[in-house]
Structure 1
Amino acid sequence: MSTMHDVAQRAGVSLKTVSRVVNEEPSVSERTRQRVTAAIAELDFRPNAVARNLRTGRTGLVGLALPRLTQPYYSTLAEAIMREAERHELTVLIELTDGDAEAELELAREHGPHLGGLLMCPLGLSDAQARTVAQTVPTVFMAERAYDAPVDRVAMANQEGLRALVGHMVSLGYTRIAVLGADHSGRPDQAAAHLRLAGYRDGLREAGLPYLPELVHEVGTADWNREAGAAGVRLLIERGIRFDAVVAFADSMALGALHAVQEAGLRIPAEVAVAGFDNIDDARYSYPALTSIGPGTAQIAREALTLLIDRMNGTATADTSRLIVADFDLTVRESTLGGMSAWGGA
C-alpha cells in the first residue's frame, strides 16, 4: 500500500506539501497541486484517518517528551520514534524535561491543545499529575513506573533482562558480580533502577549465590554515564572489595567501568567481565566490545506509536490503561567471552 512518503517521492515534493494538498490547504501552487494529485492517482494513495487531518491541528503533530538526550538510550529512542512516525505521516516535536514533574506537566498543558498526541518518558509525575496529562492530550508513556492513571504504557523487561545477564555471568563461572546503578531511596522516579536491582537479586538467587551489599554500588547521580561507571569501579578497588564481574544498569556506565578496570591493570574478561544494558551502538565498538541487554528500542517505538494512534483516532477506551512490555535480547561480546564466538555475539 502506498504511503504519503511514496507520493512525495513520485511528485518530487516534500511530505508537508503532500499533506497540504491532501488537506486542501490553499498555500500550494496550482502546478504543484496538479503534480501531487497525479502522483496520488498513479499510486492509488488513500489517506488514512490520521493523514487526512495532518494540518496544523491536533492530529498530525505528536509531542515527544524526554528527560534528556545526553544519555544514548534516549537519543536512540528519539530516532526510532521519528522513523516510525514518518511511516504514519506524523510530525514529531521533541521537548526536554530534565525529568522534572512541573516541566512534564507544563509541557502537556502548554502544548497539549495543539498536539494530536503525546509520547512521554516521565520521571517526576505523580499519579494525579499523570492523570491530568492523560486528560489534556492523548498520551502514551514509555516508562518503567506503573501509574494509577488512565494512560497507556510501554515498558522494558528490566527485571527479566538483568536476571538473564546475571545468569550469563554465572554460566561462565563468575561469582562475585558487582552492580552499578542501584538506588535504595525508594523514589518512584527510580523505577528502572529498582526493577534492575530486583533482576540482579533474582539472578543471584537462581544461581544459589548470596546477595552481598558491598558489591552493590549507588552512583549518586541521575545520569547513568561513563563518569559514574568509572567512579564506581574505582571505589570498589580503593575499598579492596573483591569482584570478578561488573553489571552496569546502562551501557554508558559499563563503558566507564571498562575504562576503570583496564586503568587498574586488570584484564577483561580474564580477570573481570563487564556487561551493560541498552545495547547502544557504542557497545559494538568499545574495546573489548561490550556484552549488553537490548531492551527492544525499535519495538518500544513501534508499540508506543500504535497505542497513541488508537488514542488519537478515538478507538481506545478513554478510562482504561494498556501495558506492553517489549522483548529483550542478550548480545554477548568480548567483554564477557574474550572473543569466543560460540554465543554468536555481534
Structure 2
Amino acid sequence: MSTMHDVALRAGVSLKTVSRVVNNEPNVSEQTRRKVDAAIAELGFRPNSVARNLRTGRIDVVVLALPQLSQPYFSSLAEAIMREAERLGLTVLIELTDGDAEAEMAVVREHGPHLGGLLMYPVGLTDAQARTVTRIVPTVLMSERAYDAPVDRVAMANREGVRALVGHMVSLGYTRIAALGADHTDLPERSAAHLRLDGYRDGLRDAGLPCLPELVVDLDPRWSRRLGAAGVRRLIERGTPFDAVLAFADTLALGALHAVRDAGLRVPAEVAVAGFDDTDEARYSYPSLTSIAPGTTQIAREALVLLDNRMKDAHAQETGRLVVADFELMLRESTVGGMAAWAGA
C-alpha cells in the first residue's frame, strides 16, 4: 500500500507539500498540485481519512441516503456521487430508506453525530423533519420538492424534460400519447411522478391536445419493468387507442417496450416509446430507447460542492440554495426509427 512518503518521492516534492494537497490547503501552486495529484493517481494512494479528521477537526465521512438501488437511475446516481466524493477526499456510506420518512430520519439519528454531511433523495421527509435534519448535520437534498427549511437542494428538470418529450412525439405526428407512471396517492405534491405528469400536461397544452384521463396510467411509485409492462397491457385490454407511450422512467419504458412487442405492435411504426433517466439500458435496448438525460453527473457534482461548502461552514448560508441540473433529449430508435443513427444516438 502506497504512503504519503511514496507520493512525495514520485512527485519530487516534500512530505509537507503532499499533506497540503491531500488536505486541500492553500499556498500550493497549481503546477505542484497537478504533480501531486498525478502521483496519487499513479500509485493508487488513498489518504487515511481518520488520521486526516484528527488533524483537521473535520469529519470527511458522508452518508448518501437513497430510496433504493434497484432502479437504474439511483445506482447511476450513487456511482456518480462516489466518484465525485473521491475527488474531494470524502468517504461515502450508502443507506437505503425505501422512501419511508421514518427510515429517512433513522439515518440521521443513527449517524448524525458521526457524520460530516448528508446527501439524501427524500420521499417521505416532511418540512418539520427537514428542519430537524439541518440542525443535526450539514445536509443537501436531491429533491424537486421545495421545503420550508434552510436546506440546500439539487433538482432535475422533471417537468421541463417531460414537456420536451411530448413536444418531440407530437412533432413526429403522435397524438394519443399515454403517460405511464402517474401517481395520485399520498406522495408529496412535488414528487417526481407529479412533476412529470405536470410536464406531460404542459406538452399536450403546447400542442393544443387534450389531456385524456384514459391515457394517464397510475402505477405504484416503486417503478419497475413489470409495472411498465402491466400498465401497457391495461391499456390494450381496455381497448384504449394509443400511438405512443411516454414512461416516467426508463425502467417503466423497458417494460412498455416488451408489452408493445408482445401485442404484435411495431416500434416506432405503430407505437412510439420514450423514457426518462437515460440509463445504459436505454442505449442498448432493442430498439434503443429515446430518453431524457437528467444531468446525473451534474447533480452529483453540484450536490457535493454544496455539501462541501456546508461542511466547511454550516452557517455561511442561512437560507437554502437551489441548483437545477440541465437535461438533454436523447433521440433513439424507439421514436425516430432508423433516423436515430443520424441524431447522434
Instruction: Give the TM interval when normalised to the shorter protein.
Output: 0.7 to 0.9
Structure 1 match to 2:193: 193
2:53 corresponding residue in structure 1: 55
Answer yes or no: is the 8 Å Cα contact 1:139–1:308 preserved in 2.
Answer: yes
Aligned to 1:230: 229
Query: 1:253 is aligned with what amino acid?
Result: L
Paired with 1:49 and 1:134, the residues of 2 have a C-alpha distance of 27
How many residues align? The count is 316
Letter of the aligned partner of 2:325 in structure 1?
A
> Which residue of structure 2 aligns with residue 91 of structure 1?
91
Q: In 1, distance between residues paired with 2:70 and 2:59?
A: 29
Asked whether the 8 Å contact 1:124–1:189 carries over to 2, the reply is no
1:78 deviation in Å? Answer: 0.2
Q: Which residue of 1 aligns with 2:322?
A: 323
- Cα displacement string for residues 121-145 of structure 1 (whole angstroms, at most 9, x for unaligned residues): 1111110001111111000000121
Contact 2:124–2:187 (8 Å) recurs in 1:
no
TM-superposed CA distance for 1:290, in Å, is: 0.2
Shift, 1:244, TM fit: 0.1
Partner deviation per Cα, 1:23-47 (whole Å, 9 max, x = no partner) = xxxxxxxxxxx43454565385423
Residues 308, 169 of structure 1: alpha-carbon distance in 2 compared, 3 angstrom cutoff: same
Partner residue of 2:31?
A: none
- CA distance in 2 between counterparts of 1:62 and 1:49 reads 20
Preserved CA contact (<8 Å) 2:113 2:136: yes
- 2:13 maps to amino acid: E
Q: Can you list the C-alpha shifts for 1:171-223, whole angstroms capped at 9, x where unaligned?
A: 0000000010111235317611111001000000000111100000001x231
Q: Which residue of 1 aligns with 2:34?
A: none
What residue in structure 2 maps to residue 258 of structure 1?
257
AA partner of residue 234 (structure 2): L
How many angstroms apart in 1 are the aligned matches of 2:247 and 2:61?
A: 36
CA contact (8 A) 1:63 1:94 kept: yes
Q: Residue 280 and residue 316 in structure 1: after superposition, are their counterparts in 2 closer, same or farther (change >3 A)?
A: farther
1:214, 1:241 within 8 Å by CA — same for their partners in 2?
Answer: yes
Match of 2:339 in 1: 340
- The equivalent of 1:270 in structure 2 is 269
Once the two structures are superposed, the pairs formed by residues 1-346 of structure 1 within 5 Å of their partners are 13=2, 18=4, 34-39=5-10, 42=13, 44-45=17-18, 46=21, 47-48=23-24, 54-55=52-53, 58-185=58-185, 187-188=187-188, 191-219=191-219, 221-314=220-313, 317-341=316-340, 344-346=343-345
- Measure, in 2, the Cα distance between the counterparts of 1:42 and 1:191: 51
1:343 shift after superposition: 5.6
| Amino acid in the other structure paired with 1:229 | G
Gap runs ≥5 in structure 1: 1-11, 19-33
Q: CA deviation at 1:59?
A: 2.3
CA RMSD of aligned residues (A): 2.1
Q: Do the aligned partners of 2:183 and 2:221 also contact (CA within 8 Å) in 1?
A: no
Deviation (angstroms), 1:345: 3.6
Deviation at 1:341, TM superposition (A): 3.8
| Amino acid aligned to 1:42 | V
The farther-off stretch of 76-85 and 179-188 is 179-188
Aligned 8 A contact 1:332 1:343 in 2? no
Q: 2: distance between equivalents of 1:315 and 1:191?
A: 27
Q: Given residue 222 of structure 1, which amino acid in structure 2 is its aligned partner?
A: P
Instruction: State how far apart, in whole Å, the 2-side matches of 1:203 and 1:316 are.
Output: 41
1:86 aligned counterpart, secondary structure: helix
Report % sequence identity.
68
- Kept in 1: contact 2:121–2:143 (CA 8 A): yes
1:330 counterpart SS class: strand
User: Residue 321 of structure 1 aligns to which amino acid in structure 2?
Assistant: G
1:302 maps to a residue whose letter is R
- Inter-partner Cα distance in structure 1 for 2:201 and 2:155: 20
Partners of 1:62 and 1:92 within 8 A in 2: yes
Distance in 2 between the 1:61 and 1:186 partners?
34
Normalization by structure 1: what TM-score?
Answer: 0.87
Return the alpha-carbon distance in structure 2 between the equivalents of residues 189 and 231 of structure 1.
25
Offset at residue 308 of structure 1 (A):
0.3
